[in-house]
Amino acid sequence: MSLLENQVAVVTGAGRGIGRAIALALAEAGADVACVSRTEANSRAAADEVESLGRRAWALAVDVGDAKAVDAAAADLLKETEGVHILVNNAGVTRDGLLMRMKEEDWDTVLDTNLKGAFLFTKALTRNFMKLRTGRIINVASVVGLMGNAGQANYAASKAGLVGFTKSVAKELASRSVTANVIAPGFIDTDMTSGLKEETREMARSHIPLGAFGQPSDIAAAAVFLAGPGAGYITGQVLTVDGGMVM
């Protein structure tokens, strides 16, 4: 039997980058996966890849910051399954800028997606986890949430908020054998980082003891571990996957 056989996972931000890598890694480990993305095209493309691995998939085009849309998607999914066992809150956006010039709209957009989205999906599936008396909640934050970064006050606040949110959820749900943990990626090669100037990339690389950027597969491997039986006694923790940037 595969590691995650007979389990259903929900992955937000599954349309590309780290989210897609996590969705596919969970499928390869045996899970059926609901692929959540803002657009129908991206969620469908990710779901098609999951199905190509022989697993069931659902394409959910949802704005994770929209409470009604999240509740409806979660309710529909629970009608089609015997329950959701794994939730990966990965959806994230950036709207970078110095604090003195940051628009309120840019603050709200980042917090609504990165932090409120995790709150909404976790809340929508909490009764399900309590009923199952098992579950894995994995929130994808960032080392920026641990150390801050000039020009990213909104992003850092959202990711730091995820840490406090996760620890609180871990304490609330521990009695039902539900774990909640954070993965904090460092500099990962994705669409979001590929557009940076080479001098910026070199500067970032100079702060990484392992001397290289991570890959989405590195984060996906951590997610599979935290979702699996070997992590059943780990909760409320922050796993940095960053090549040693934060230590």
Catalytic residues: 155
Q: How far is CA 192 from CA 50, 158, 173, 197, in A?
A: 23, 17, 33, 12
Radius of gyration of the chain (CA): 17
Contact yes or no for 220/46 (Cβ under 8 A)? no
Distance separating alpha carbons of residues 22 and 215, to the nearest angstrom? 11
Nearest to 187 by CA among 142, 238, 136, 141: 142
Distance separating alpha carbons of residues 25 and 139, to the nearest angstrom? 16
Distance separating alpha carbons of residues 116 and 91, to the nearest angstrom? 10
Give the pair of three-digit tokens for residue 22: 């996590």
Residue with tokens 């890598």: 21
Distance separating alpha carbons of residues 3 and 87, to the nearest angstrom? 16
Residue 201 CB-half CA count within 13 A: 13
Q: What is the CA angle 7-12-14, rounded to 5?
A: 90
Tell me the one-letter amino acid at 47. Answer: A
